[in-house]
Structures are given as C-alpha cells and as structure tokens.
Amino acid sequence: MKKRLQIFCKSKEFEREFRKQLQMLIIVTFGFTIAFTWRQAIFNLSLATVRFFTNIKNFSAWNILASIFIAILILFVIFLASPYLKGGDD
C-alpha cells in the first residue's frame, strides 16, 4: 500500500495538478487581498454619494444606505456581465 501511495505522489500528473492548484491558491489569495484593500475606498465613495443625495443626519442610516447602494450597483454589474460570461452551448 505504501509503495502505491509513493508512486501516486511522484507521478508527473500529480505534480502538474499540484502546481495548478497551488497557482490557483496564489491567485485567489492575491485577489482577496486586492479586494480587501479596495473595500474601504469603495465604501467611502458610496457613503459620500449617499450623503450628497440625501439629507439624512444619522450615521447608521448612511452606512446602511451606502451598503444597499453598493449591493444594487454590484447586482447591476453582474446582470450586465452575465451574458458575456455565460458558457456557450455552441
């Protein structure tokens, strides 16, 4: 059993798949880091937009409205991008 496991671990196919998965992990980690760093800037920009268009003085209401604004904006972007990202059945 141990010999079978060693053969599996040393195969070229395993090495390729391991490198592919490691590359995907690095890409996802960098993507998450980039998204996390931009999060505050996007939130501040949407908060300023909400403040400009409303006369609300409550800070909690501003935060909630800014979050709703971001959610609606992102849903709109997803709606626009989905026909282009859909896999074709050609």
Nearest Cα residue to 67 out of 46, 52, 81 = 46
pTM: 0.59
Two tokens at 82? 């989905």
User: Which residue blocks in the chain are alpha helix, DSSP H?
Assistant: 2-9, 12-53, 59-85
The pLDDT assigned to 6 comes to 60
Tell me: the pLDDT tens digits for 25-83? Answer: 999 999 999 999 999 899 999 999 988 999 888 889 989 999 999 999 999 999 999 88
